[in-house]
Structure 1
Amino acid sequence: MRRTEQRPEPADFPQAGPVEPSGLLDLLGVAAVLLEADGRIDMWSPQAEELFGYTRGEAVGQYAAPLLLHPEHQDAAITLFAEVMATGRGWAGAFPVRHKDGSTRMVEFRNMRLTDNQGDHYALGLATDRTTLRQVERNLALSTRLVTQAPIGLAVLDADLRYLAINPALAAMHGVPEDEHLGRGFRDILPGTPFLGAETVMRQVLISGLPVVDQQVVGRTAADPDHDHAWAASFYRLEDHHGSVLGLATVVVDVTDRYRAAVKADQAQQRLRLIAKGSARIGTTLEVERTARELADVVVPDLADMVAVDLLDSVLQTGRGDVGEGPALFRALAVKTAYPTDATEAIVPPGSLTTYHADHPAAHCIRTGRPQLITHLERRDIPRIATDPDAARLLAKAGVHTDMAVPLIARGQVIGVMGLARARNPLPFDEDDLTLACELASSAALSIDNAVLHQHIRSAAETLQRSLLPQLTPHHPGLEVAARYLPAQAFSEVGGDWYDVIPLDGGRTVLTVGDVMGSGIPAATTMGRLRTATSTLADLDLDPARILTHLDKITHGLDPYIATCVYVVYDPDHRRIQVASAGHLPPVLVRAGKPPELLDLPTGTPLGVGGVPFETTTLDLQPGDHLVLYTDGLVETRHDPIDERLADLLRLLAPPYSSVEETCDRLLRQLRDPAGHDDVALLVARALPLDGGGDHLAGGATGS
């Protein structure tokens, strides 16, 4: 025969020793009275004294009917008593009983015949107050209905956490029938890992006696094994009237809707925080690649496990998203993963050019301008998001299971694509994730487009700027000259800094450096016009102050631009210079054997202000001496005092001296702000003798 499976039963019967009594009989106060065959009271319990009011001495030996009943009820009671004694059949019912104090109360009776070993008959009467009994019955009925019909889960477990009772609501939550709970342990019914914490709390309640209310438990049961549910569980210890631990009661409320609403609200808050984070961190500069990296930094790991940002190469080259015939050509700008993974090798590295097959999500975005969401990627679908079979193998190995591609759209034009994927994160992308990605991509696309536009404008301005600067020869009569021009960094616009070296009659040379206040193509154009004017005026062989006066008038006509300028004429025959400044930083004079010094010149006002005369200063410049002209981009920063920066300039020009070329390189390398917010024009000239022995004399003067 097949053995039927037996569930363990609760341990209601101990192996040995007495069991603690229940308190129910004490609550009912059941009285016991023993009557002889003739109706006289033979025994009288203490509970009878309490119920009827008569002491044992007052009751024993008395006839029960006259003592306890009103006259009108005595005949009926005697008849019922006689029937019980004659037939042996028990009787149950209620009679109004006269209490010793004269009051009347309804008493519930159970009467039965007893026979001793002599064959004599007695009547045993058990009685309790009917009002108390009815209250207990009502409470019991109410409790039974409450337990069976309540929409919340209720259960009683013993001290070993085995189910003694469970209501239908909790059985339905567990997905296990009520009868299959009884005798089985809590972890037998709910084996999942999320319920380990609940078991620990239940055992603590059994030990401490302190109840736990609204312990949240999130997990899956047999009722719905594919989705998480949430419950608020309360536990309290059960004790009898002696304080002995009977077990544990649990009250469970399904709060899944509230839990899911809270999760959605939290996700919404996270999305808002991510959008705010994107607004603060994306587009901090006008660099295309950096903006793409900022976008990648925002979405990983908060939104995706891996991301790639690609831009149409035509946008970088021409500023237009014109893909032409055939597959679109992309330039990879940024790649980021939330953790080290071989999948990185499946993603096109930054700086590389690539095309995607027609079914690739990126190609789909370029064709349609719409995002593409792939919620679940089966292994056979991986080639769809990969560039080639090797990449597909790496992505599959990494566990990529969901993907989306979002177009980068700026001013109504698709300029690139952002691709996102998840591998370790088990949740698939959903519509909310797609909306968030589109929001971030939209903001980033505008910043990238602005950066591209700035890059093209800046490139044009820099090209114009460099085309307007002179092509210097290193040697002029009595001078060795070196010059440098460095535009501002990519996130700043090219300014209007310039330098020039102009030969004059009699072997003299003009050295000039200037700075137009402004940036971009207009500043570069203004710079070109001023440089041309300076070169033309120089041929007139005028005093430097008069040259600046004429330039001031010209600049005033170029409103709203103003400029600073320092103008120097070197005469090698007389070994002197004439200098005039229009609001420019002072040149540095480096004399052999003396510390470098800033020339103390009348500063003058910038060109274009008008109405203020300029002054010319005459100084000696001997062979071996150096003169350094520069614009403010060399020494000014946003954080350092200008006096400290000028002191650094003088320190770098102290002996031992280098060639003018090396001096230019050293000053730019050690002084220029790494951020490069402004252009730099630098001109270094060293005086040489005119007798042909310049190299020997210069070497001795400079210590080279």
Structure 2
Amino acid sequence: MDLLGVAAVLVEADGRIDMWSPQAEALFGFSGEEALGQYAARLLVDPEHRAEAIRLFATVMESGEDWAGVFPVRHKDGGIRTVEFRNMRLTDNIGDHYALGLATDRATLRQVERKVALSSQLVTQAPIGLAVLDTELRYVAVNPALAEMHGVPEADHMGRGFREILPGEPFAAAEAQMHEVLETGLPVVDQQVVGRTRADPDSDHAWAMSLYRLEDHAGQVLGIANVIVDVTDRYESARAAERAQQRLRMMAEGSARIGTTLEVERTAQELADVLVPELADMVAVDIVDSLLKSGRPDAGDGLPLFRALAVKTAYPTDASTAIIQPGHLTTYHADHPAAHCFRTREPLLITHLDRADLVRVAADDEAARLLAEAGVHTDMAVPLIARDEVIGVMGLARARNPRPFDEDDLTLACELASAAALSIDNAILHQHIRSAAETLQRSLLPQISPRHPGLEIAARYRPAQAFSEVGGDWYDIIPLDGDRTALAVGDVMGSGIPAATAMGRLRTATSTLADLDLDPARILTHLDKITQDLDPFFATCSYAVYDPYQHQLHIASAGHLPPVLVPDGGPPRLLDLPSGTPLGVGGGAFETTTVALEPGDQLVLYTDGLVETRHDPIDERLAHLLRLLQGPPSDPEDRCERLLRALRKPSDHDDVALLIAQAHPLKP
């Protein structure tokens, strides 16, 4: 009514104006004093239209029927205005009749009509959702587009609350924002909301929501306007792009993190660590047990025995107890996804797990119950294939992550499994080669007696860590005529079975040459010639002969680290020997040095694996060795253990040979 500026004029039965509203003064230009008591037809109607006006007035007064229409009216300024009229007859309490005329400017009315029509078309025909809610967040207007988005008819929206129509948890935050907009008046524009409605209860949709507070012309809050645009396509595209980036990140991370060592268990755990929690909530990696034991798969036709190597969960859960734990053995039943992968060499994707599927993927009924209680709802099994052999199976599951696995997830899991399988197979191969080399190495070392004439001897051999190859370090104790004893410690450069084999040949040659009763320098000269035939191997060596009657040690070195002499009651020192060249270089000159080795004195022979590291200067490490040899006397066995504990780490990359000989008075 305020927009139209409706004027009210009351006319008596004889045609005189009895009442005149302020809006009439604004519309027609005449004041109340000028209009009241005047004949309406004479004041407001041009002579050429006056008869028609009187006729219409008489019809309303006589019949009591309303009349509505457009009529030209004379303005005070002399101009003619087209006015929209609504005329009706009124009756007072004594039966007298009056005519009430309601009028507004026709141009203003048409403008409002156009706006209303345009607004109505926008609301009803727009593809975006539009709604008006009152201050209690009850729907008072909804357009068809929004009703279709909600899956609720327009009429069923009216009077119902926002959360009655959209009860899902994702819409709780939207309701809170509506209250905030009502309170502050600050609009919210393009706020993304993701959830499910009755229109499509099985799929997520995304909407861009804008909220505006509605007020009347006096500033009173009427409610809130809600504008909704479906942006599901844009949301899915963004999610697809994000998932593609995630896959690239995971592939890059997998390349960097998987296979950093040649340890089988660690490589399997690295695979699980990459997959959880980025791709799965739970991951288990199993390997065919016969491969771990012998390096070859089972020859039988049935399902093999699997050994669990790695298990990883994204959060603490009882479902982890339903998964075979690392180190345990299991044989999967014929319907299990792992069995499917082993038989067919193909992965298996179960998008939605029902009760029957849970029994199928679990080890037993109790495990199926635990998986169900944990909310496991989707599962994948992927074969680990290396060199065209299925060496194991990887299982993945989701529980808290509500999104089921899809083909993209399966592709990513297969790519990571393929890379990890080759690393695991390499680690298994290395493990068997290393085991064979270590067995050969130990078999070639002497079985020593701790006591020789005038000597108490202790020796140790420690191989390199699990993912490094065994080297060619060795020691030897050779009895000689005249109660003398030859002591040797050497290091063949290289690793693996070839190095161990070369070490065995050198040790055999050393024992043979020792029987010839040659000077240590001449022994090394002959060994140098022999080693040249073992090309491309080189070796360092310290060779010494102890005479218990003279208490003398005759020693020569071929490029080896200096031995340590620990006098009884004196400070330990490195023996200053001519270093010589490594065996196999050829043409080197070796010298024999004679030092006193009195009863109670100790001689420490060792290979570089005891003192050398990748980060510390060799001088500092040798100084540390001397500090460890200070202090109260201890027997060779105890001293060997103490030195290895202090200087040797499980992660060291080189093997160690250590020999400690302590002189004693010669017994009859």
Structure 1 and Structure 2 fold alike (TM over 0.5): yes
Which piece of structure 1 moves more, 326-335 or 72-81?
72-81
Q: Once the 2 structures are TM-superposed, how far is the Cα of residue 407 of structure 1 from its aligned partner?
A: 1.1
For residue 281 of structure 1, the aligned residue among 247, 252, 257 is 257
The answer for the alignment partner of 2:417 in structure 1 is 441
For residue 146 of structure 1, the aligned residue among 122, 146, 153 is 122
Say whether residues 1:405 and 2:388 are aligned partners: no
The residue type equivalent to 1:630 in the other structure is Y
For residue 679 of structure 1, the aligned residue among 643, 655, 658 is 655
The answer for the alignment partner of 1:625 in structure 2 is 601
Say whether residues 1:378 and 2:354 are aligned partners: yes
Note if contact 1:477-1:507 (Cα within 8 Å) is conserved in structure 2.
Answer: yes
Q: Once the 2 structures are TM-superposed, how far is the Cα of residue 121 of structure 1 from its aligned partner?
A: 5.7
Q: Name the CA shift for 1:237/1:387 in 2 (closer, same or farther; >3 Å).
A: closer
Q: CA RMSD in A?
A: 2.9
Mapped to 2, the partners of 1:180 and 1:350 lie a distance apart of 57
The residue type equivalent to 1:182 in the other structure is M
Question: How do 1:77-476 residues align onto structure 2 when only pairs under 5 Å count?
Answer: 77-85=53-61, 87-114=63-90, 123-388=99-364, 391-392=367-368, 395=371, 400-476=376-452
Q: Name the CA shift for 1:35/1:376 in 2 (closer, same or farther; >3 Å).
A: closer
Q: Once the 2 structures are TM-superposed, how far is the Cα of residue 107 of structure 1 from its aligned partner?
A: 2.2
Which piece of structure 1 moves more, 249-258 or 534-543?
534-543
Note if contact 2:454-2:667 (Cα within 8 Å) is conserved in structure 1.
Answer: no
SS in 2 for 1:432: helix
For residue 556 of structure 2, the aligned residue among 580, 604, 622 is 580
Which piece of structure 1 moves more, 423-432 or 155-164?
423-432
Q: Once the 2 structures are TM-superposed, how far is the Cα of residue 138 of structure 1 from its aligned partner?
A: 0.7
The answer for the alignment partner of 2:488 in structure 1 is 512
SS in 2 for 1:518: coil
Say whether residues 1:568 and 2:549 are aligned partners: no
Q: Once the 2 structures are TM-superposed, how far is the Cα of residue 506 of structure 1 from its aligned partner?
A: 3.7
For residue 612 of structure 2, the aligned residue among 636, 649, 652 is 636
The residue type equivalent to 1:259 in the other structure is Y
The residue type equivalent to 1:626 in the other structure is Q
Question: Residue by residue, what CA displacement relative to the aligned partner does 1:257-305 show, whole Å, maximum 9, x if unpaired?
Answer: 3334434444444444333333333222111122222223333444444
The residue type equivalent to 2:445 in the other structure is L
Which piece of structure 1 moves more, 594-603 or 41-50?
41-50
Question: How do 1:22-101 residues align onto structure 2 when only pairs under 5 Å count?
Answer: 25-35=1-11, 41=17, 43-60=19-36, 64-65=40-41, 68-70=44-46, 72-85=48-61, 87-101=63-77
Q: Once the 2 structures are TM-superposed, how far is the Cα of residue 426 of structure 1 from its aligned partner?
A: 4.7
SS in 2 for 1:644: helix
The residue type equivalent to 2:642 in the other structure is R
The answer for the alignment partner of 2:521 in structure 1 is 545
Q: Once the 2 structures are TM-superposed, how far is the Cα of residue 623 of structure 1 from its aligned partner?
A: 1.5
Mapped to 1, the partners of 2:371 and 2:184 lie a distance apart of 53
> Which 5+ residue runs of structure 2 have no aligned equivalent?
none
For residue 670 of structure 1, the aligned residue among 646, 654, 657 is 646
Q: Name the CA shift for 1:39/1:679 in 2 (closer, same or farther; >3 Å).
A: same
Mapped to 2, the partners of 1:406 and 1:59 lie a distance apart of 95
The answer for the alignment partner of 1:606 in structure 2 is 582
For residue 456 of structure 2, the aligned residue among 466, 476, 480 is 480
Q: Name the CA shift for 1:377/1:58 in 2 (closer, same or farther; >3 Å).
A: closer
Identity of aligned residues (%): 77
Q: Name the CA shift for 1:142/1:488 in 2 (closer, same or farther; >3 Å).
A: same
Which piece of structure 1 moves more, 313-322 or 114-123?
114-123
Mapped to 2, the partners of 1:66 and 1:388 lie a distance apart of 103
Q: Once the 2 structures are TM-superposed, how far is the Cα of residue 611 of structure 1 from its aligned partner?
A: 4.6
Note if contact 2:267-2:424 (Cα within 8 Å) is conserved in structure 1.
Answer: yes
Note if contact 2:568-2:633 (Cα within 8 Å) is conserved in structure 1.
Answer: no
Note if contact 1:346-1:394 (Cα within 8 Å) is conserved in structure 2.
Answer: yes
The residue type equivalent to 1:181 in the other structure is H
The residue type equivalent to 1:324 in the other structure is G
Q: Name the CA shift for 1:265/1:691 in 2 (closer, same or farther; >3 Å).
A: same
Mapped to 2, the partners of 1:216 and 1:138 lie a distance apart of 33
Mapped to 1, the partners of 2:92 and 2:404 lie a distance apart of 82
Mapped to 1, the partners of 2:225 and 2:454 lie a distance apart of 105
Normalised TM-score (structure 2): 0.91
Note if contact 1:500-1:512 (Cα within 8 Å) is conserved in structure 2.
Answer: yes
Aligned positions, number: 668
Note if contact 1:96-1:104 (Cα within 8 Å) is conserved in structure 2.
Answer: yes
Q: Once the 2 structures are TM-superposed, how far is the Cα of residue 247 of structure 1 from its aligned partner?
A: 1.8
The residue type equivalent to 2:636 in the other structure is V
> Which 5+ residue runs of structure 1 have no aligned equivalent?
1-24, 693-704
The residue type equivalent to 1:352 in the other structure is H
Question: Residue by residue, what CA displacement relative to the aligned partner does 1:379-422 show, whole Å, maximum 9, x if unpaired?
Answer: 34444334455555555565544433221100111111122344
Q: Name the CA shift for 1:289/1:109 in 2 (closer, same or farther; >3 Å).
A: same
The residue type equivalent to 2:165 in the other structure is I
Mapped to 1, the partners of 2:37 and 2:179 lie a distance apart of 57
SS in 2 for 1:664: helix
Question: Residue by residue, what CA displacement relative to the aligned partner does 1:651-704 show, whole Å, maximum 9, x if unpaired?
Answer: 222232222222222222222122131110111111222243xxxxxxxxxxxx
Which piece of structure 1 moves more, 141-150 or 589-598?
141-150
Note if contact 2:66-2:87 (Cα within 8 Å) is conserved in structure 1.
Answer: yes
Q: Once the 2 structures are TM-superposed, how far is the Cα of residue 452 of structure 1 from its aligned partner?
A: 0.7
Note if contact 2:385-2:421 (Cα within 8 Å) is conserved in structure 1.
Answer: yes
Mapped to 1, the partners of 2:100 and 2:365 lie a distance apart of 95
Q: Once the 2 structures are TM-superposed, how far is the Cα of residue 75 of structure 1 from its aligned partner?
A: 4.6
Mapped to 1, the partners of 2:81 and 2:667 lie a distance apart of 145
Q: Once the 2 structures are TM-superposed, how far is the Cα of residue 59 of structure 1 from its aligned partner?
A: 4.5
Question: Residue by residue, what CA displacement relative to the aligned partner does 1:482-520 show, whole Å, maximum 9, x if unpaired?
Answer: 211111111100111111223344443322211122111
Q: Once the 2 structures are TM-superposed, how far is the Cα of residue 61 of structure 1 from its aligned partner?
A: 5.7
Mapped to 2, the partners of 1:85 and 1:607 lie a distance apart of 137
SS in 2 for 1:524: helix
